[in-house]
Structures are given as structure tokens and as C-alpha cells.
Amino acid sequence: MIASDGTDLLLRPASQRGRLKVYIGMSAGVGKSYRMLEEAHRLLGQGVNIQVGYIETHGRVETHALLKGLPLIPRREVFYKGKRLDEFDLGATLLLAPTWVIVDELAHTNVPGSKHPKRWQDVLELLDNGINVITAVNIQHIESINEEVQRITGVEVTERVPDSFLQRADEVVNIDLTADELITRMKEGKIYDHAKVEMALRNFFQPDKILQLRELALKEVAGQVERKVEAEVERPKQLRHEHFLACISSNADVARKIIRKTARLANYYHSDWTVLYVQTSNERRDRIPLDKQRHLLNNFKLAVEMGADVIQAQTDALSAVNGSGMGFLPAKVLNLDKANIADAIMQVVQDKHITTVCIGKPHLSIWQVILRTSVFNRLLTALAENDVDLVILS
């Protein structure tokens, strides 16, 4: 993860990096903000310089009451489209340089013209400058499970946080409630205004949806804890270090799903992963539609944000025509003697020591191309000989 000065945050000495604590909940109303403010009072009582950079109480009486006695950093006033908005003041926080700062609403999109597009990027800069941060996010805002959340709730969440940010956390804490407890809080008006309660209970806050989101939150936190154990507790060396390869095509929606599912697998195994896109002759810059170019770029950026290396394979002939390929950064360009997807996969498997190849289900164009090539059997043989698994993702 790259800092503002171009260095890798994860390679910096611990003494130069701020610590990050993230509270995760299955939904709004489980008590994340309340818990953060309780912790602020505890730290303040111990003489720690902690300040509240941004908190959203949503008018909840018990939560708002906890603000009393805590030092607050004034919010930055911004006028956007004729409206006055209060934003987190990154500049003031950097100048004050508290030991700890609370920054709520992690997935928030900043007002256009702000230093960073997203609040989680503000948090990274605070950490880069040695300021410890306590923050919070709901499970539905985590990038790699976006489609799964949409399947459960029927709602597409547009404000998201990349998984690589959570991997930066020193501590991840789950704020858990049962479905019955959460619904009771809703009916008592402790989450939303009473006028919104009935609609919320008919839509998002249904027991089966809450239960599934709760499961996702518990799994996510368990995975983060396991990652920390792997990093800090000495264990016998594993016989095999996993490295996943996600093979994508220019089909935007399918490629995005493959990227997210492979990211989840890689996170589960705490392993490296790579995304491979093979540019065929039909997808040269002078032939591929502009919308497909744009979707490919977005998917490359998504993969990088989620911690993957991205490789764009192409033939030498295409390279001569296009210069640096289709220009999709930050992809690495792999030049091949011939445009053959199976050959590209085999080469990347060998070069990157891949242990598992992830590919879309059979109707994908990438699969059809492989089936039509004479080297498909050679690909399967090579995968078997190198102890490489092949996973077909739905």
C-alpha cells in the first residue's frame, strides 16, 4: 500500500506508522459509533491525547450524549450544489497531530474538490503521518463481497472500501447483535426516526437478511484475526504457499465477479493473487469499443485496489501496433509469440508460481477460446504436472 511520499506503508518501521483499529458491524445500529466513543472516554481518562475527527450519531440520544467531555476537531464547511455540507477536516487533524483520532463513516465519498476522493484515503494519510486511527464500517461496504450483499439485500452499495485497507488494520473488532436484538432496537426508535421504522422493517431489516449479513461480518473478522495470527505467531512452515490467478475477459460484469471471488479466496488463504487479461486481435485499440476499454480499466483498478498484480498479455505484433498495449495502467504487459490464451495462462503459471487458476464458467468467451485451441489438453497436463488447481467460478 503506497503512502503519499511514494513509499510502501507496510514496509515502514512500525514506529513511523499509525495504528489502525476498525470496528465492523453487520448493519447500521449495532453500536459501532457508541463503542468508539466509549473507547475515547477510556483513553482520555488514561491521559491519552485522543480527539474526535468525525462522528455521525444519526440523532441517537445515547450516542450523542457520549460526545460530552470529548475534544472535537471542528468539521470543514463545504458548499456543494448550493448546499452547506460538513466534512472531516484532514488538514486540521494533521496540524493538531493527536495521538489517536476517531474517524467514522469510513466508506464515505468526499465532496468533489477534496484532497482525496474517499474517506478511507484520508485515514491512510493520517496513518502515513504516524497518527493512530479508530474507525468503523458496515460489512456491506467491503469491496469483495459487494455482489453477495446485493444478492442478500437487493440493494447495490455504491460506497465501498477495498479489502487491502482492512488488511492494513492492526485490530479488527466485530460489533455483534442478534437479529432479534437489532429489530428490537429498530422498533424502539434507537436506529432510525420512528417515521422510517416500518419501511426499514419491510426491506433491509428482515431476520433472514440480518442473519446472512451477520454471518458475513463474523467470517470477515475471523479471517482478519487469522491473518494476524499467521503474521505474528510462529508456526511450522506450510508445505505450499498459495498463489491464485484470476483469468478475466473484456466482459465487464463477469470479470468483476471473478476478481471479487478470487480476492475472497486469496484473503481466506492469506495469499498473493494475480489477474490476467489476454488481449486478442479483436480487442486491439482500433477495434475494441470504447465502453469495453473503460470497463477493463475500471476492473484493472479494482483488482489493484484489492491487492492483486495485473498482467495484460498480448502478441508482439499487437505490441508494435499499440505501443504499450491498450494503455491500461497499472497492468504489466506480457508479450507472446502468438495470441493464445492457454499459452498465456501457462506462462504466467510458471513465471508467478501459481497454485490455483480461477476462471469463469463455461459460457464465457475466454473458456470458449481455450476449448477451441489445440493446446487445451497441454494446459490441463501442465497444471496437473505442476500441482496447480483449476477452479471454475459461478
Domain(s) labelled CATH 3.40.50.300 in the chain stretch across: 9-232
Distances in whole angstroms, Cα of residue 341 to Cα of each of 249, 292, 345, 348, 366: 10, 19, 6, 11, 8
Segment holding 311, helix H or strand E: strand 309-315
CATH number listed for the domain at residues 243-393: 3.40.50.620
Contacts for 314 with CB less than 8 Å, ≥ 6 apart: 278, 279, 322, 325, 333, 334, 335, 336, 339
Distance CA 92, CA 90 (A): 6
pLDDT of residue 201: 83
Contacts for 184 with CB less than 8 Å, ≥ 6 apart: none
Distances in whole angstroms, Cα of residue 183 to Cα of each of 58, 211, 215: 17, 11, 17
CATH number listed for the domain at residues 9-232: 3.40.50.300
How many residues in the chain? 394
CA atoms within 13 A on the CB side of 62: 14
pLDDT of residue 372: 57
As to burial, measured by CB atoms within 10 angstroms (0-12 exposed, 13-18 middle, 19+ buried), residue 125 is: middle
Distance CA 142, CA 274 (A): 20
pLDDT of residue 316: 47
| DSSP conformation letters of 273-291 | EEEEEE--GGGSTTTS-HH
Residues of the chain with confidence (pLDDT) below 50: 1-13, 316-330, 364
Torsion of CA 202, 203, 209, 214, to 10 degrees: -100
pLDDT of residue 89: 97
Q: How many CB atoms lie within 10 A of CB 24?
A: 26
Distance CA 200, CA 203 (A): 5
Distance CA 343, CA 349 (A): 10
Helix (H, G, I), strand (E, B) or coil at 113: coil
Helix (H, G, I), strand (E, B) or coil at 57: coil
Domain(s) labelled CATH 3.40.50.620 in the chain stretch across: 243-393
Closest CA to 176 of 123, 224, 222: 222
CA atoms within 13 A on the CB side of 305: 19
Q: Report the sign of the C-alpha dihedral through residues 131, 132, 136, 137, in that order.
A: positive
pLDDT of residue 345: 85
Give 220's DSSP letter: H
CA atoms within 13 A on the CB side of 120: 23
